[in-house]
Structure 1
Amino acid sequence: MTWRWLAAWLVTWLALANPARADELRPGYLELTQRDAAHWQMIWKAPILGGLATRARPALPAFCSTGPAQSRIEGGAVVAAMAVTCTRPLDNAQVGIAGMEATFTDALLRVAPLGRPVQAVRLTRDHPLATITAVPDTWQVARTYLALGFDHILTGYDHLLFVIALVLLLGRLGVTVRAATAFTVAHSLTLAGTTLGLFGLAQAPVEALIALSIVFLAVEIVKQGTGPQRLPERIPWLVAFGFGLIHGFGFAGALREIGLPEGDVPTALLTFNLGVELGQLAIIAVVLAVIGGLRRFAPGLLRPATLLLAYGIGTVASFWFLERLIG
């Protein structure tokens, strides 16, 4: 019976892990880039999972009209490009996505007026439209990118499993928070450097290495207690820092898809990283609470449950690694 439950659990994880790019941002994406006084280029990226592709569509003001769309399937999403003609500027007009109330995901609206700062606004089912302002305020950018960072650590399955595995390996609040902070500092460095064009790596090998880092932690969990303390237990912050450098390139790839608002790049980078850190702390709190509950009420189940999670996480990460390596 135990192995049947284990097999069912692993199959469930594999189903969740099906996308080849588990690190990709899940929200939809609507971009308007102005070409001249009356003409814009619109990109509409609607993930198939979550309902945006089938139930939602861009919502533009009445004084704007769209040309024929050129559509394609890309990475589990429908991507459509089309020309937009507007008889007046978008200042104080509402732009967004109609039909979001019937979907299960959020979206990012990015508006790039000609010769003016880019605006980035997070759209939700409760607030599917945004009013375009003449000059975006700094707090708008901060709120948007803070939410994006928080969401990304929870819906970017690579980083989610990495943090869970790190907590399972260390199991104590102080050492886990220090390791997670080292991870954040490291990925902040590579995220900032890549985003600002100082250095970079190809996305495909980065994604494979991210999956491999999760496999590494899963193996360390299984081997824990079978001999002398291994490196991740002796110097966990150093291991987390090293892997954080790799994960930072993955964050940069996700952030590259949505872009950064001109004039507020430092604010966007800082708040995105703060959102990631808040998401990590939330995950750590939940996992440590579960571990603490098992230690108190069912200590005999703690090690079997940890091994079950480790094998599940390792299986999923191995699947990702092979899929990305072959791809």
Structure 2
Amino acid sequence: MSLRSAFLGILFVTFGLFSTASAHESRPAYMEVTEIAPHRYQIVWRTPLLSGMRLPVALRLPETARNVTEPTLRELSDSLIERRLVELDKGLTGARIEIVGLQATITDALVRVQLLDGTYSTTLVRPSKPWIEIATSRSSLEVAFAYLMHGIEHILLGYDHLLFVLALILIVRRGRVLLITVTAFTIAHSITLSLATLGVVHVPGPPVEATIALSILLLACEIIRSDRGQPSLTAQWPWLVAFSFGLLHGFGFAGALTEIGLPQGDIPLALFAFNVGVEVGQLIFIAAVLGALRLTKWIKFPVFVKRHARLATTYAIGIMAAYWFIERLAGFTA
């Protein structure tokens, strides 16, 4: 067992222990504001549930806002949705909406505003600046940046997708083959992400999430088979396996994008920016892993760690994937 495998084992066994049981708990908050009549707005406010608890954030509308209808609440498995109809004498243009409590979290909020005259805006609100001032319109650059950042954050907080990429790194030993394999995975999930988001193909979310966990478990088993010298389809044709499973993972990415929606008039741009963000986040993760491996040239590990780290890492990936699979399977069969 190489020193690089040792470092990788320590790094990701630790990662596995500290990651949460559910792979997508860190979802962004989301607000949609639609002007349905002059100075009258339909507001949809979705806050994620983290381990069954509501994110401690709340909307603070301008003081001149009056409720036309009382807020209604609907609780889903992963979020709480509040709807209300409000009226402002001077409208929302130029007004400020605050997201109280966001500064105390690590969660962003995506805000979409559609005005009666057809203008719209899409803004990513961060904890460092927990408010939005409603403008008459947003530039295409601002829309692209918002969806780019959301794509990056989604992949970096999507532990199941990252574990799949990590498993690919473990089973592919040569740099050129790894590049081809990751490229195949990228192309595949880009295809299904686009098709699902545009409504061309529809696949229910819960079965997709369960099958994604199963794909990680199967890949962990393939690593064990390869290390034992047994025939392994993934070891022989890693790009083919990565492409096949990538089609499945693309539906998982699409589920996140569908939740926040796409801005009318800028759908191609937003979809492209989100896709690029996912790829940027994936490359950041791969670069971090490969960079950490290079550091092992200057780090000495005990013989026991060097001998068993790769196996321990593989089992940690498999155990986590098996847990997710059972949890998600129980969730949509209950």
Name the TM tier (shorter chain).
0.7 to 0.9
Call closer, same or farther: CA 1:255–1:24 in 2, change over 3 Å. Answer: farther
Q: CA deviation at 1:34?
A: 2.3
Q: Counterpart of 1:18?
A: 21
Deviates more, 1:203-212 or 1:139-148: 203-212
Alignment root-mean-square deviation, CA: 2.8
Q: Is the 8 A contact 2:30 2:111 kept in 1?
A: yes
Q: Counterpart of 2:237?
A: 235
Q: Distance in 2 between matches of 1:288 and 1:77?
A: 36
Q: Distance in 1 between matches of 2:247 and 2:55?
A: 37
Amino acid at match of 1:309: T
Q: Counterpart of 2:219?
A: 217
SS at match of 1:89: coil
Q: Counterpart of 1:266?
A: 268
Q: Counterpart of 1:288?
A: 290
Amino acid at match of 1:33: T
Cα deviation, 1:136-162, whole Å, max 9, x if unaligned, reads: 210011100110000000112221211
Residue among 315, 328, 333 paired with 1:311: 315
Call closer, same or farther: CA 1:48–1:204 in 2, change over 3 Å. Answer: closer
Cα deviation, 1:29-67, whole Å, max 9, x if unaligned, reads: 122122222322222222343999464211322332334
Cα deviation, 1:149-186, whole Å, max 9, x if unaligned, reads: 00000112221211122222224443323222211111
Amino acid at match of 1:105: T
Deviates more, 1:9-18 or 1:120-129: 9-18
Q: Is the 8 A contact 1:117 1:263 kept in 2?
A: no
Cα deviation, 1:88-144, whole Å, max 9, x if unaligned, reads: 332232234122212232111122223524422111111212222222210011100
Q: Distance in 1 between matches of 2:193 and 2:42?
A: 28
Bigger relative contact order (CA 8 A; separation at least 6):
2
Deviates more, 1:117-126 or 1:205-214: 117-126
Q: Is the 8 A contact 2:40 2:91 kept in 1?
A: no
Question: What is the TM-score when the length of structure 2 is the normalising length?
Answer: 0.85
Residue among 320, 323, 327 paired with 2:327: 323
Q: Is the 8 A contact 1:51 1:102 kept in 2?
A: no
Q: Distance in 2 between matches of 1:13 and 1:179?
A: 23
Q: Distance in 2 between matches of 1:12 and 1:163?
A: 14
Q: Is the 8 A contact 2:155 2:161 kept in 1?
A: yes
Call closer, same or farther: CA 1:134–1:103 in 2, change over 3 Å. Answer: same
Question: What is the TM-score when the length of structure 1 is the normalising length?
Answer: 0.87
SS at match of 2:43: strand
Residue among 172, 176, 179 paired with 1:177: 179
Percent identity of paired positions between Structure 1 and Structure 2: 42
Q: Counterpart of 2:48?
A: 47
Q: Counterpart of 1:193?
A: 195
Call closer, same or farther: CA 1:117–1:207 in 2, change over 3 Å. Answer: farther
Call closer, same or farther: CA 1:76–1:202 in 2, change over 3 Å. Answer: closer
Q: Distance in 2 between matches of 1:290 and 1:144?
A: 30
Matched length: 318
Call closer, same or farther: CA 1:193–1:178 in 2, change over 3 Å. Answer: same
Cα deviation, 1:279-303, whole Å, max 9, x if unaligned, reads: 1111111112233334664475455
Q: Counterpart of 1:86?
A: 88
Deviates more, 1:73-82 or 1:132-141: 73-82
Deviates more, 1:36-45 or 1:258-267: 36-45
Q: Is the 8 A contact 2:25 2:49 kept in 1?
A: no
Amino acid at match of 2:242: A
Q: Distance in 2 between matches of 1:254 and 1:53?
A: 18
Amino acid at match of 1:237: W
Where in structure 2 are there 5+ consecutive unaligned residues?
1-8
